[in-house]
Amino acid sequence: MPDVVVIGGGPAGSTAATMLARQGWRVTLFERERFPREHIGESLLPASMPVFEELGVLDAIRAAGFLPKSGASMVWGKDRERWSWYFSETNRQYPTSFQVWRPDFDKILLDNARGKGVEVLEGHRVLDVLWEGNRATGVRVAPPGGPELRVPARYVVDASGQSGIIGRARSLRQPDDSFQNLAVYAYYEGAERLPGPDSTNILIESFENGWFWAIPLHTGRMSVGAVVDHRLGQEGIRAAGPDAFLAAQVAATTHTSHMLRTAKMVSGPHVLRDWSYVSTEVSGDGWVLAGDAACFIDPLFSSGVHLALTAGTLAAALVNTALRDPQLAAEARPVYQQLYYQQYSHFRELAKLFYSSNMSIDSYFWEARRRLNAEDGASPRQAFIRAVAGQPPRGYERVVIDRGEAPPEFVAGLAEFNDARSRRAAEFARLVESGALGDARFALAPGALVAASPVLGDMQFERGFVVRTAHRPEGVPLSPAAARLVAALDGTTTVDEAIASLVAGLEEDAARHLARGAATVLQTLYIEGVFEPLAAAAPR
Ligand code: FAD
């Protein structure tokens, strides 16, 4: 009997399976197709590169010859000219990602899982999950040409993508009203690439009915798709057929139609709809969802594969914990859900803002999306700040702010938030430079709270602490030493006294190391607004 059954061999499933096999668990992965199989979603983010390294597939991905992607070129917002931004502006370690051909890319990940000890069974469709009450106990599988199998397992990872076996069976899926779009896409040969340094960028062009992607591939083909309103798209396709509908959308663009003027469609058009949803729960007793099986936003920020990879990693950490310490895993499940939603909300809020800040086009598509954001009950600024986890805007975030036409109060609010962070960073630096840090006293800011909580460690959850603030209700994880430091800083104790109590009894080297770490923790927490402003914690 396997310890873990994984349903689906896409990026989420192969990542979770590989990580779990490396922890020594017996993992069986069922995939209904035989790879290489077709899949949409070619444009990747550099944020995924560390996951490829962790999985041990970066060399194989490089060797496959996929085009390196340096950034994105966009026709969006007030400027109808094409403008570009590059990952190298904000990501020095990984200044490029890839434009992949998914059949080959997904096969590399799945073969790697097999190579790392996962039993991969292709052509095996999972029919449903076996339950004892609310506990998942295995799966029922249809092998090719053979009788059905019942496969018991201690844990089930559902990475079945849009099929969402558990999500649908347990009615966990909620459609996401913010992105009720439809995509019609095709592959072209002979399309002209963008010039110069943009030649391997994704092009995103907004137009009257929605927006287009154009992704150059190393096979010489170009993936081109229109994202339009789902109702208008369905009506248009019903009336004209997908070919004529797509041709009419292309004709309504400036840049995309120029790139395709000598191109020939060689595959498609394909139509996809109803892809945006969220699950009300992403884990339970004996089961966990990862990737599209849990949530899917919208393809605008090319975030799908990245979320699938990070969710696969996170799910593996939860399962690894559950197989070792079921009690801790039960406590860690809400944290898994919180971390999952945090990553998902990041891209969702960004996409909402981006859709709602395209002010230049007056049409049903854009007006409806601007209205939707305006009617959103929660303050968009708060939602956005939560979504970017209090970090200064980078990459797509910065582009949204700089180049979109976000509501002025939103931009002002965000600037105010970032200014406060910069001010606190400068205050802390002054304190260090003047040598006054040791004598300073800090106290937790109003509303900040340290609580015991499972935190994500190395491929497992561990018992630890978080400090929650108004801006970070999900909590900033603290190591046990950091939690002791925060507890010691009660407004009466100086930083030197708190650090001295922390390192008491340690060898000299260890004490020096911990004291240095404590200063860094203090700096991070100060900038995060965990402590009172400096004025209230001035030196004696
Ligand atoms: P999948 O890749 O879908 O893998 C799920 C696997 O489960 C499949 O292989 C399937 O065969 C298998 N399966 C399903 N049911 C069963 C069953 N019953 N038994 C056994 N196996 C089963 N993402 C990007 O990163 N960049 C992009 O440019 C991009 N563009 C997109 C454009 C559009 C229009 C859409 C809709 C999505 C796009 N995405 C993009 C999203 C991306 O395709 C997905 O988010 C990503 O593939 C999710 O990976 P996954 O492993 O969760 O699911």
In terms of domains, do 54 and 150 share one? yes
Output the residue whose Cα is nearest ligand 1's atom 2. Answer: 10
Give the domain-ending residue among 207, 238, 272.
272
Task: Give pLDDT, residue 399.
Answer: 67
Task: Give pLDDT, residue 275.
Answer: 80
Instruction: Using the structure block, give the residue that is written with the tokens 């959103």.
Output: 376
In terms of domains, do 196 and 295 share one? no
| Distance in Å, CA 305 to ligand 1 centroid | 8
In terms of domains, do 10 and 112 share one? yes
Element (H, E) at 430: helix 408-433
Give the domain-ending residue among 252, 272, 292.
272
Task: Give pLDDT, residue 515.
Answer: 86
Domain annotation covers residue 364 = no
Instruction: Using the structure block, give the residue that is written with the tokens 């200063």.
Output: 519
Average pLDDT across each block of 10 residues of the chain; the chain has 540 residues. List them in order.
Answer: 98 98 98 97 94 97 97 80 85 91 98 98 98 98 94 98 96 90 97 96 94 97 96 96 98 97 97 91 97 93 93 98 97 93 84 76 77 58 53 60 67 77 91 91 88 92 89 80 87 90 89 88 88 56
Give the domain-ending residue among 232, 255, 272.
272
In terms of domains, do 31 and 120 share one? yes
* Cβ of 39 less than 6 Å from ligand 1: yes
Pairing of strands 155-158, 4-7: parallel
Among 259, 303, 350, smallest CA distance to 43 is for 303
- Distance between alpha carbon 438 and the CA centroid of its chain, in Å? 39
Domain annotation covers residue 403 = no
In terms of domains, do 115 and 193 share one? no
Q: Looking at residue 258, which CATH number applies to its domain?
A: 3.30.9.100
Domain annotation covers residue 291 = yes
Task: Give pLDDT, residue 367.
Answer: 79
In terms of domains, do 245 and 149 share one? no
* Cβ of 113 less than 6 Å from ligand 1: no
CA 257 vs CA 43, 192, 193, 208, 337: distances in Å = 20, 10, 12, 14, 42
Output the residue whose Cα is nearest ligand 1's atom 14. Answer: 160
Domain annotation covers residue 8 = yes
CA distance 30 to 471: 41
In terms of domains, do 254 and 318 share one? no
Model pTM greater than 0.85? yes
Can you say whether residue 395 is alpha, beta or left, with left for phi > 0 and alpha for psi between -120 and 50 degrees?
left
In terms of domains, do 436 and 524 share one? yes
Atom of ligand 1 nearest to the CA of 185: 34
Domain annotation covers residue 337 = no
Total structural domains within the chain: 3
Domain annotation covers residue 236 = yes
| Distance in Å, CA 4 to ligand 1 centroid | 21
Domain annotation covers residue 96 = no
Q: Looking at residue 153, which CATH number applies to its domain?
A: 3.50.50.60
In terms of domains, do 145 and 217 share one? no
Range of the domain at 497: 425-536
In terms of domains, do 190 and 134 share one? no
In terms of domains, do 166 and 286 share one? yes
In terms of domains, do 29 and 105 share one? yes
